[in-house]
Amino acid sequence: MERAREARASGQLGCDDVLELLTDLLEEALPAGRHQRVTAHLVGCPVCSGRLLQLRATIVVLGHLRDGAVPASALAALRDSFLTPAPTGPPDQALRPAGGTS
């Protein structure tokens, strides 16, 4: 927590900030200064850069789906997952599959 406060005080972005901005980064919707701060954070953070890679891979895979290829129930579950608050705790726990022990 102290590290996040220090990062904000110095103008750097913390993981929570960066994770919220990944979509804007992918859509090239960030102002130049914020884009530079997000990029600087990604260079030094394997958790956030891994999440960015996951988003890019998801976009590629979803771009190859045909209409109707995904059952309505699966789409509903996916939509609901985006409405559920992000897990709290260390970032490495947030990346583990639900119910996983790894």
Do 91 and 15 meet the contact criterion of CB atoms below 8 Å apart? yes
Tell me the C-alpha to C-alpha distance, in Å, between residue 60 and each of 49, 56, 57, 66, 96. 17, 6, 5, 13, 22
Domain segments of the chain as ranges: 2-84
Q: Reduced to 3 states, what is the DSSP secondary structure of residue 33?
A: helix
**Residue 78's pLDDT band (cuts 50, 70, 90):** confident
- Residue 96's pLDDT band (cuts 50, 70, 90): very low
pTM for the whole thing?
A: 0.60
Its CATH architecture, for the domain 2-84, is Orthogonal Bundle (1.10)
